[in-house]
Amino acid sequence: MTRTAFFISDGTGITAESLGRSLLAQFENLEIRMITKPYIDTLEKAHELVEVINGVAVRDGESPIIIDTIVDSNIRQIISDSDGFNIDIFSTFLEPLEQELKTHSSYTVGRTHSIGKDEAYMDRIQSVHFALDNDDGARTHQYDKADVILIGVSRCGKTPTSLYLALQFGIRAANYPLTEDDLDEDGTLKLPRVLAPYQRKLFGLTIDPRRLAAIRHERRPNSRYSSMDQCVQEVSQAEGVYRQLHIPFIDTTRFSVEEISTRMIAEMGLVRRFSPR
The response to whether 154 counts as a known ligand-binding position is yes
**Is 155 known as a binding-site position?**
yes
Other residues' Cβ atoms within 10 Å of the Cβ of residue 130: 21
> φ, ψ for residue 249 (rounded to 5)?
-150, 165
For residue 187, say whether it is annotated as part of any ligand binding site. no
Q: Annotated binding residue at 69? A: no
Question: Could you tell me the sign of the dihedral formed by the alpha carbons of 167, 273, 157, 178, in that order?
Answer: positive
Q: Please check whether residue 151 is in contact with residue 203, taking contact to mean a CB–CB distance below 8 angstroms.
A: yes
Q: Is 9 annotated as a binding residue?
A: no
Q: How far is Cα of residue 237 from the mean position of the Cα atoms in its chain?
A: 28
The verdict on whether residue 84 carries a ligand-binding annotation is: no
111 assigned binding-site residue: no
> According to the annotation, is 204 in a ligand binding site?
no
Q: Which long-range contacts (CB under 8 A, 24 or more apart) does 132-139 make?
A: 132/163, 134/162, 134/173, 134/174, 134/175, 135/159, 135/162, 135/174, 135/175, 136/175, 136/176, 136/177, 137/175, 137/176, 137/177, 137/194
Do residues 110 and 12 touch, judged by C-beta distance below 8 A? yes
Binding-site annotation: residue ranges for ADP: 152-159
Binding-site annotation: residue ranges: 152-159
